[in-house]
Structure 1
Amino acid sequence: MDLKQLRAFLAVAETGNVTRAARMLHLVQPAVSRQIRLLEDDVGAPLFERERYGMSLTRAGQALAEHARRALLELDRARAEIAGVDEGVSGLVTLGLLPSSIDMLSSAFASAVAAEYPGIRVCIAMGYAGTLLQWLQSGEVDAALLYGIRRSADIQTSPLIEEPLWVIGPPRSGLRPSRPVPLAGLAGRRLVLPSAPHGIRTLVDHACAVANVALDIAVETNALSVQRSLVLGGQGLTVLPPIAVADDLRSGKLRGAPLADPALARTIVLALPAGRPTARPVRCALELLVREARRAVVSGSWLEGRWLGE
């Protein structure tokens, strides 16, 4: 088993096709096929199901893919750190951000890293809290911003921001920040909500169960962009932190009002793996991330956010 085989394997796994994988790797197709055959001979199991319209991972392939991604990521981290060993702080930092906060933080964070630690290379991945937690546990990201999670032996967290949940709708909804909407007021209204077990959906479902409120959920989606599009299209109201649609609220494309009786809020935390040391480049990058998050809250750019960090 060597790096060429692993890279070919992951390329085929991602594209589902040897031809596309060869194009991605700038190789000829027979060379990629040969690397896959050698790898399958080495592990002693087929890694792909050869189907009419492509190739899909077998159970053995799925298991190997998880380890292969981590192995190549660790090598990339090592290369980045070695390449800048004489240039101060250097290395690869992988960070997971939530869809609702990535636009707010990514550019300012990347600019700060480039200005203060040019030897650090940043990789930013977007995902919902459950996905980010899995990546954090598997080592695919060094740190992540998550919704508040339960205490865990393998994850350490620091609370950063508390933000309320608002009812969001199109302009004709008449929603206004000065007029909170009681949870019971959502009964009988068409709603577009995240699919379970999304963190916001869990908060809303729990509050409804306690208050004995039945909701009319017209559409469920696990994509923030689709959620926004459906509300803009008049398919119903939704529940989101205002930062998730800040530009639309400022421009008047969407209207919003705080959710009340009960008021619901979520806490965003900085999460790190508890079982492994945090490398110096990661610590340096996270200091800048926290600084930029605090700056966004204090300046008011992070709508309705309340700073909890030190």
Structure 2
Amino acid sequence: MEMRQLHYFLSLAEEGSVSRAAVKLSVAQPAISRQIRMLEDELGVTLFHRTGRGMTLTGAGGLFQSRLRKILTDLSDLEHDMRQLKGVIEGSVVLGLPPTESHIIVPPLLRSLKRSHPGIDLRIVEAFSGDVSELLTTGHIDVALFYKAPRTKHYVAEELLHESLFLLQSAEASICTLDVLTVADLARWPLVLPSRRHGLRALIDQVCDEQDVELDVAYEVDSLMPLVRMVEEGSVATILPYNAVQREIDHGRIVATQINPKELRRILVLATTTSHPVRAAMGVVAQLCTNLIRHLAAEKEWMGIISRT
């Protein structure tokens, strides 16, 4: 087997079409077809079903694909490890984090990474905490920042900070006169919240169940910006960290009232995947994230940080 055959196979499996794979690889279609036939002859199995609508993997092809991905990942990791021996840290890293934190962390993280380790290619995946932890479990991301939730799986993870939550209302429609709210107070407002599959909602529901508080959830929205826009319109309030809407607060469109952190708080953790070995580049990204978040907290640039006690 040749490496080009293996790469041709993976591209064809992903694209499902020789013509699309040829465009992706910048290779002539006959060359791909010839190399795939040679690979099948060498293995003694049929890897693809050929139909008028394209190419689909056979059972043997599916097994070959799953094993091959791991082998090529291991080879890539080995290559990076050998380069690290020369003092060069490089490679691709996928970082997952919630949308409420990405706008605070990502810009300074990318600048710091470019200065200190230009050979590391960082890709950002933005998703709610529940989805981030799921992607970490399946190995689709390497390093993750997410918030603990009642149903979050257990990880070897480092707690970075405890964060207060706030009731957010339209500045024009706000009727709150209290400095700090209890969880029971939250029942007074119609709310827009993420759906129950997300970590923040799971946390809110758990605390409300424990205190026998029933919230008025008028809408469920799983996208941050539409949720914030609904709050600005004035018919509903929401529960989020301060930093998620700091720009809107600074511009006078939204007002934030702290919820008693002894009753309701979030815990931000950092974790790395266990689906494949931790590469040096992953360690660099994880450490930069940790350093950056602690710096933002110490400099009061991350609003709503509270004591862990």
Change (3 A) 1:256 1:45: farther
Deviations 1:5-30 (A, max 9, x none): 32243346xxxx99888766667899
CA offsets per residue over residues 63-91 of structure 1, 9 Å max, x none? Answer: 99887876776666666666777462222
Query: Paired residue for 2:180?
Result: 180
Sequence identity (%): 28
- Secondary structure of 1:284's counterpart equals helix
> SS where residue 301 of structure 2 aligns?
coil
| Equivalent residue pairs, number | 302
Cα deviations by residue, 1:78-137 (Å, 9 ceiling, x for unpaired): 666667774622222221111111111111111111111222221221122222222222
Q: Which residue of 2 aligns with 1:88?
A: 88
Aligned equivalent of 2:14: 10
Decide whether aligned partners of structure 1 residues 153 and 213 sit closer, same or farther in structure 2, where only a CA change above 3 A counts: closer
CA distance in 2, matches of 1:57, 1:187: 53
Aligned to 1:282: 282
2:119 aligns with 119
Structure 2 CA distance for aligned equivalents of residues 18 and 297 of structure 1 = 52
Deviates more, 1:77-86 or 1:283-292: 77-86
Q: Deviations over 1:267-301 (max 9, x none)?
A: 00011235754222222222111111111111222
Distance 2:306 2:31 in 1: 55
Give the match's secondary structure for 1:263.
coil
Q: 1:258 to 1:276 in 2, by over 3 A?
A: same
3-state SS in 2 of match to 1:113: helix
Aligned-residue RMSD, C-alpha:
4.2
1: CA distance between counterparts of 2:142 and 2:182? 39
Partner of 1:98: 98
8 Å CA contact 1:163, 1:265 repeated in 2: yes
Amino acid at match of 2:10: L
Q: Which moved more, 1:79-88 or 1:110-119?
A: 79-88
TM-score computed with the length of structure 2 as normaliser: 0.76
Partner of residue 272, structure 2: 272
Tell me if the contact between 2:97 and 2:125 (Cα under 8 Å) persists in the aligned partners: yes
Asked if the contact 1:162–1:305 (Cα under 8 Å) also holds between the matched residues in 2, the reply is yes
Say whether the 8 Å CA contact 1:167–1:259 is kept in structure 2. yes
Q: Which runs of 5+ in 1 are unaligned?
A: none
In 1, are the aligned partners of 2:133 and 2:153 still within 8 Å (CA)? Answer: no
Cα deviation for residue 264 of structure 1 reads 0.7
Higher Rg: 2
Q: Output the CA distance in 2 between the equivalents of 1:33 and 1:239.
A: 55
Taking a change above 3 Å as real, the CA distance of residues 130 and 65 of structure 1, as seen in their structure-2 partners, is farther
- State the SS of the aligned residue for 1:2: helix
The runs of at least 4 consecutive aligned structure 1 residues that moved more than 4 Å come to: 17-51, 54-87, 149-154, 175-178, 274-277
